[in-house]
Amino acid sequence: TCALPISDMLPDAASLADDPLEQDAPDHVADDPAIGLWFLGDGDRANLATDLRAFTTGNLVRPLVDGRSYFARLCAELQATQAGDQVYFLDFRGDLEERLDGPGSEIGEVLGEAARREVMVYGLLWRSQPKALQQSEKANAEFVRQIDEDGGQVLLDARTRRGGSHHQKLVVVRHPGSPARDIAFVGGIDLGYGRNDDSEHAGDPQAMSFPAAYGPRPPWHDIQAEVRGPAVHDLEHTFRERWYGSSVLDLPSPVRQLYDRAYHMGAMTSRPLPEPAAADETPRGTQAVQVLRTYPARVRRYPFAPHGERSIARAYRTAFARARCLVYLEDQYLWSRPVAGIIASALRDKPGLRVIAVVPRYPDKDGRITRVPPLLGQHQVMRACAAAGGDRFAVYDLENHQGTPVYVHAKVVIVDDVWAMVGSDNLNRRSWSHDSELSVAVLDSERDAREPSDPAGLGDGARAFARDLRLRLWREHLDRQPEDTTDLLDPREAFEAFRRQAHLLAAWHAGGRSGPRPPGRVLPHQRGTLPPAARLWATPMYRMIYDPDGRPWRDRLRGRL
């Protein structure tokens, strides 16, 4: 049995039976019958205040693996804007001087130039916390001031739950009168220092402050999704909901007022956005896209989510329940009892299921106090999942060819080569209930004919986007060429191939690195050690600060996700 009980975030049958949001959700009728099995239906996001569509079809989604590929695409799209075009963005952190594509492409300058040529630029940055707490309040304030001086409007948004953050990362570029050019970028990559790394993982020359174990230029692995088609409208709609979510972005505070005056930031309320363009339903590709979010329950309620929204968590619950052969995930913060419960339950119930997780080798905080709570949470997940799945559950981390650990900031999950999710959310309770998050689930109507053509045996078939994304990531991590992936197609064989390469590299390190370095960059993840008395003080700190619960009390008491 699982070493940990399934969290109270996992609803039981009784709670679902009397939940009207679950009971009364009508089924969606779509050409692809898998949509109704893998996606949430109308009402399933349990947020009746939003009019966001359940999903759209006919999209073209392209994964942009690592920051260099995303930043180059973003730079090209922003520089191609003209007067009257519209740019909307949400971000956790912004650094004005971060270069997108070489000298002269600093994000502050690219956005500023766009605003000066009368592109309508609107943005919301998290208000953040002071630099003394290793946060980005100063950098975000400078970002806001500069873009405002150039003619855009970017606001610091403090409308979070206490101790929470706005963690959504989104850029939408609209071209009125030319909808075929409309595009959105959504995922885990901030417009900040340290993110502009490529697949060789030598690190971003504009490094951020980071633990010494990752070197002076920390290697950084991440992913963003480029979206074209009807889903662009839904992503813009998410921005608009937040923009109009309240007339006041922060509570009055003498300290904050002095801070704002120092940075010449007078705007505490948002000005009206341009009228939204009608949704363009012209098919651009073969992917169905479901836009998923997290918003917490707050005393000062969001008008668009008065009791919060946890559609990301519910989407994971749906996908893991359907998993049969292989779940592959990359995650920055794989720590949480609810996550352990969902993964462990799937491993217990599906004896053929295997799970691979790729995580950072070391936490992103290396203080004597700050490093312990995340390690404690990760220990709980790994212990629970290993108890449920044995050697069918495997955790790895990454290094570059020089042996420097690669920080895994990616947030991506692929289930049975059918369903994939890319976004800002981590696999923990904070991302599932407490912070604002934004992700896209993708289900491709194009089937992949390579054998096994239906690895899960449920009739869904392997889908081109999900399988291609998994293989793209594995080629990077295992040092494979596109033509050298035959043993990676079958999820069961792929699981063993991944394990073999990781253990070969581990054996090379253990043997003193004698002889040629084996191919690949994956190593079995070694759990960090915890001080003997750590649980006494780290457990409450972990639950209250690192992984808090943002659900309304009525849902906590009734065990609703």
**pLDDT tens digit sequence for 358-390:** 999 999 988 888 889 988 989 989 999 999 999
Nearest CA among 169, 191, 186, 190 for reference residue 441: 186
Task: Considering only CA atoms, give the Rg of the chain.
Answer: 22
pLDDT of residue 40: 97
Handedness of CA 390, 521, 207, 101 (dihedral sign): negative
Strand, helix or coil for residue 514: coil
**pLDDT class for 147, splitting at 50, 70, 90?**
very high
Which residues, in sequence order, are CB contacts of 306 under 8 Å at separation 6+? 49
**CA dihedral of 35, 41, 46, 49, whole degrees rounded to 10:** 110
Residues facing residue 419 across a β-bridge: 415, 443
Neighbours of 511 (CB within 10 A): 9
Neighbours of 274 (CB within 10 A): 12
Per-residue burial over 335-357, b = 16 or more CB atoms within 10 Å of its CB, e = otherwise? bbbbbbbbbbbbbeebeebbbbb
Q: Give burial (CB, 10 Å; 0-12/13-18/19+) of 391.
A: exposed
**pLDDT class for 270, splitting at 50, 70, 90?**
low
Backbone angles phi, psi at 554, to 5 degrees: -65, -35
pLDDT greater than 70 at residue 259: no
**Mean of pLDDT values over 537-556:** 91
171-212: pLDDT as tens digits: 999 999 899 999 999 999 999 999 999 999 999 999 999 999
More confident residue, 110 or 2: 110
User: Percent of the chain scored above 70 by pLDDT?
Assistant: 89
Report the C-alpha gap between 62 and 73 in whole angstroms.
Answer: 11
Report the C-alpha gap between 415 and 409 in whole angstroms.
Answer: 19
Which residues, in sequence order, are CB contacts of 313 under 8 Å at separation 6+? 9, 294, 338, 432, 433, 561
Structure token digits, residue 148: 């405002």
**pLDDT class for 318, splitting at 50, 70, 90?**
very high
- The pTM (predicted TM-score) of the whole model is 0.91
Distance of CA 202 to the CA centre of its chain: 23
pLDDT of residue 3: 33
Report the C-alpha gap between 415 and 449 in whole angstroms.
Answer: 17
pLDDT of residue 291: 98
Report the C-alpha gap between 210 and 366 in whole angstroms.
Answer: 9
Mean pLDDT over all residues of the chain?
A: 89
pLDDT greater than 50 at residue 340: yes
**pLDDT class for 28, splitting at 50, 70, 90?**
very low
Structure token digits, residue 170: 């989104």
Q: Which of 18-32, 63-77, 546-560 bottoms out in mean pLDDT, i.e. has the lowest? A: 18-32
Structure token digits, residue 99: 């270069």
Nearest CA among 291, 188, 277, 278 for reference residue 238: 291
Structure token digits, residue 353: 């299921």
pLDDT of residue 129: 60
pLDDT greater than 60 at residue 272: yes
pLDDT greater than 60 at residue 5: no
Report the C-alpha gap between 211 and 195 in whole angstroms.
Answer: 15
417-463: pLDDT as tens digits: 999 999 999 999 999 999 999 999 999 999 999 999 999 999 999 99
pLDDT greater than 70 at residue 247: no
Which residues, in sequence order, are CB contacts of 206 under 8 Å at separation 6+? 95, 97, 98, 99, 193, 194, 196
Structure token digits, residue 107: 């994000």
**Mean of pLDDT values over 509-532:** 92
Report the C-alpha gap between 191 and 186 in whole angstroms.
Answer: 12
**Mean of pLDDT values over 263-286:** 77
46-103: pLDDT as tens digits: 999 999 999 999 999 999 999 999 999 999 999 999 999 999 999 999 999 999 999 9
pLDDT of residue 179: 95
Beta strands at 86-91 and 120-126: parallel, antiparallel or unpaired: parallel
Neighbours of 414 (CB within 10 A): 27
Which residues, in sequence order, are CB contacts of 236 under 8 Å at separation 6+? 88, 172, 174, 184, 276
pLDDT of residue 131: 53
pLDDT of residue 113: 98
User: Percent of the chain scored above 90 by pLDDT?
Assistant: 78
Report the C-alpha gap between 110 and 260 in whole angstroms.
Answer: 24
**pLDDT class for 7, splitting at 50, 70, 90?**
very low
More confident residue, 16 or 285: 285
Report the C-alpha gap between 80 and 474 in whole angstroms.
Answer: 33
Contact between residue 550 and residue 296 where contact means Cβ atoms under 8 Å apart? yes
**Mean of pLDDT values over 492-521:** 97
pLDDT of residue 337: 86
Q: What is the 3-state secondary structure (H, E, C) of 448-509?
A: CCCCCCCCCCCCCCCEHHHHHHHHHHHHHHHCCCCCCCHHHCCHHHHHHHHHHHHHHHHHHH
pLDDT greater than 70 at residue 338: yes
Query: What's the Cα-to-Cα distance from 35 to each of 55, 132, 318, 319, 441, rounded to whole Å?
Result: 9, 46, 12, 11, 11
pLDDT of residue 1: 28
